[in-house]
């Protein structure tokens, strides 16, 4: 089974993955490693920088008994001009069951599905398109902290336009019955998100009191080709989550951020490290989510 984006999954499939991830919480730490994927080989192909996602997939694979191969383009034959597909085909020829791929081009994982017969492809983030395991770990964190997803109001704040995390959150959360608000400067909130039932907002202070969850997206400076707002300082002033804003929100509002965070831009340190923040829980939950996803990917198609 491939996992390319949450748009392709049904509500029941998403809930099934969250339930499976819940069973994997603590495996390899509080309880022994599992052998679900013993004999399987998972190849991580990361063509873009990553800390959390890459390490989390590796740890997850080991905790369910799989072997891992880690590829990054620097120091590889990519420097000699080998193409993306040729590299992937050669790695797979070593006997690989699942390819986990991160790439700056949207659609790179889809391309691999056409060139790697018999291998499952898991999208670990492709361009501005999708980041399904991040969407799942955000949902698992919300479900564990709030006890449900259905009926909650979740604001995605910031650079919606360039954010694959935003897109995966939108598909997953709306399928599970949450109300999603996309909030940011008009230049960074594409009006098309409204077609998925998402409310568009440009004034964070106005929506603050009705949010159960606020997911603060990093401004994706590396994907921006022009100036989308006057200055970083002004962005932080208008859309940054500060202690002062937090005091005007629901006292139990859950603060999420996919990381890496830019302290002082989308979030101030007091909020990032405060009692409403679930940022490090997200990372812990991510390992369990990836165990569930790898097991799911290894099912016969």
- What is Dmax (Cα atoms) for the chain? 56
Closest CB 127 distance from ligand NCD, rounded Å: 10
Q: Which of 44, 58, 123, 134 binds ligand NCD (CB under 6 A)?
A: 134
Residue 243: how many CB atoms within 10 A of its CB? 11
Residue 96 interacts with ligand NCD (CB under 6 A): yes or no: no
Pattern 52-91, ligand NCD, x by CB under 6 A: xx--------------------------------------
Closest CB 261 distance from ligand NCD, rounded Å: 9
Residue nearest to ligand NCD (CB): 218
Closest CB 283 distance from ligand NCD, rounded Å: 8
Pattern 185-224, ligand NCD, x by CB under 6 A: ---------------------------------x------
Residue 129 interacts with ligand NCD (CB under 6 A): yes or no: no
Residue 258 interacts with ligand NCD (CB under 6 A): yes or no: yes
Backbone angles phi, psi at 299, to 5 degrees: -65, 150
Helix axes 279-297, 132-146, angle to 10 degrees: 120
Residue 167 interacts with ligand NCD (CB under 6 A): yes or no: no
Residue 164 interacts with ligand NCD (CB under 6 A): yes or no: yes
Omega within 30 of 0 (cis) for the link into 286: no
Closest CB 53 distance from ligand NCD, rounded Å: 4
Closest CB 223 distance from ligand NCD, rounded Å: 9
DSSP 125-162: EETTTB-HHHHHHHHHHHHHHHS--TT-EEEEES--TT
Number of residues that bind ligand NCD (CB under 6 A): 10
Closest CB 52 distance from ligand NCD, rounded Å: 5
Binders of ligand NCD among residues 27 to 46 (CB under 6 A) are none
Residue 125 interacts with ligand NCD (CB under 6 A): yes or no: yes
Nearer to ligand NCD, 53 or 120 (CB): 53
- State whether residue 114 is helix, strand or coil: helix
Residue 135 interacts with ligand NCD (CB under 6 A): yes or no: no
**Alpha carbons 181 and 173: distance in angstroms, whole number:** 11
Residue 259 interacts with ligand NCD (CB under 6 A): yes or no: yes
Q: Which of 131, 167, 290, 295 binds ligand NCD (CB under 6 A)?
A: 131
**Alpha carbons 3 and 218: distance in angstroms, whole number:** 24
Choose among 5, 19, 7, 9: nearest CA to 291: 19
**Alpha carbons 249 and 79: distance in angstroms, whole number:** 50
List helix spans (H) across 186-299.
204-207, 232-239, 243-247, 269-272, 279-297
The 8-class DSSP code of residue 182 comes to E
Radius of gyration of the chain (CA): 19
Nearer to ligand NCD, 28 or 132 (CB): 132
**Alpha carbons 301 and 288: distance in angstroms, whole number:** 22
Contact residues toward ligand NCD (CB under 6 A) are 52-53, 125, 131, 134, 164-165, 218, 258-259
């Amino acid at each position: 089974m491939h996992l390319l984006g949450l748009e392709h999954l049904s509500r029941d499939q998403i809930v099934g993955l969250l339930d499976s991830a819940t069973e994997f919480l603590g495996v390899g730490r509080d309880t022994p490693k599992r052998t679900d994927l013993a004999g399987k080989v998972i190849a991580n192909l990361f063509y873009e920088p990553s800390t959390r996602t890459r390490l989390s997939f590796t740890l997850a694979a080991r905790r369910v008994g799989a072997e891992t191969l880690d590829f990054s383009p620097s120091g590889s034959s990519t420097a000699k001009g080998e193409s993306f597909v040729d590299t992937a085909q050669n790695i797979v020829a070593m006997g690989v069951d699942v390819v986990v791929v991160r790439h700056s081009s949207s659609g790179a994982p889809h391309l691999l599905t056409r060139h790697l017969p018999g291998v499952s492809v898991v999208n670990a983030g492709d361009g501005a398109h999708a980041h399904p395991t991040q969407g799942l770990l955000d949902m698992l964190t919300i479900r564990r902290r709030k006890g449900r997803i259905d009926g909650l109001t979740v604001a995605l704040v910031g650079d919606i336009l360039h954010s694959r995390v935003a897109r995966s959150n939108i598909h997953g959360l709306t399928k599970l019955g949450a109300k999603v608000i996309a909030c940011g400067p008009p230049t960074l909130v594409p009006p098309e998100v409204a077609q998925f039932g998402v409310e568009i907002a440009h004034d964070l202070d106005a929506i603050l009191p009705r949010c159960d969850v606020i997911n603060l997206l990093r401004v994706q400076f590396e994907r921006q080709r022009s100036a989308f707002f006057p200055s970083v300082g002004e962005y932080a002033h208008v859309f940054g989550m500060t202690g002062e804003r937090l005091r005007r929100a629901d006292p139990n509002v859950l603060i999420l951020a996919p990381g890496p965070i830019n302290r002082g831009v989308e979030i101030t340190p007091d909020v990032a490290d405060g009692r409403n923040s679930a940022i490090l829980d997200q990372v812990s939950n991510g390992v369990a989510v990836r165990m569930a996803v790898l097991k799911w990917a290894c099912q016969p198609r």
